[in-house]
Structure 1
C-alpha cells in the first residue's frame, strides 16, 4: 500500500526520526562510534530488543552505519552516516529549545 503524499514537508523528516528512541540514539552516536552495549548502558529505559530494532531501522533508512569486525567475540560498531549527521542541527535545535523552556517543561517531570 502506498503512503499518501505528505501535506507538510516536515512529515518526511518525522518518518525518519519517529518514535521515542531515535533522537536519543542519534544524539549518542553524534558523540562518536558506539557499540550496542554502550548505547544500551547510556540510554536509560531502552530494552536491548528495542535498541536493536531501532538501530536496524535507522541502518535501513541510511542514518546509521553498522560495521562488523570478524573477531571472537564478534564486535559491531555503530556510527552516523552523512545523512544521520545532517539531522544533528535538528537534534541540537531540540536540545536548545528544551534548555530555553526548562522551567515550563519541569512540570511534566514532576507528575
Structure 2
C-alpha cells in the first residue's frame, strides 16, 4: 500500500477534511449516492469522466473512512450497492453549500481557469 513521504500534519479541522476527503470524485460520489445512485455502474454513468479504477479506489476509501457502506448481494451475478452512513449524511449540507458557491461564482472561476495553463485540457 502507498505510504506518504511527508508525514500528515493535522493542525485543524481543515487538515482532517483535506486528508480524508481529498480525491477528485469523493464529494461527487457522496452527493450522487445520496441522490439514489447506489450501484457502481450507475455512479459511472452520472460521472462518465471518472476512471473506473480511480472511482472504485475512492469508493473503497469512503467505505474505509466510514462515509458509506458497501453491501454485496450474492447471486448468479453479484451485485454491489453503496449507502451513506450518518457521517456521510452529515457532510451533505457542506457539499450542497460548496455546489451553490460554485454555481454562484461559475463565470469568475471559468475566467480564472482560462488564464491558468494547468486547465488547458478542461472542457
Q: How does 1:7-46 map to 2 (within 5 A)?
A: 7-46=11-50
Q: Which has the higher contact order (CA 8 A, sep 6+)?
A: 1
Q: TM-score, normalised by structure 2?
A: 0.80
Q: Which ranges of structure 2 fall in alignment gaps of 5 or more residues?
A: none
Moved over 3 A (4+): none
Q: Which ranges of structure 1 fall in alignment gaps of 5 or more residues?
A: none
Distance 1:9 1:67, change over 3 A: same
Selected match of 1:70 from 62, 69, 74: 74
Q: TM-score, normalised by structure 1?
A: 0.88
- The root-mean-square deviation of aligned C-alpha atoms, in Å, is 2.0
Measure how far apart 1:44 and its partner are.
2.5
Measure how far apart 1:16 and its partner are.
2.1
Distance 1:75 1:4, change over 3 A: closer
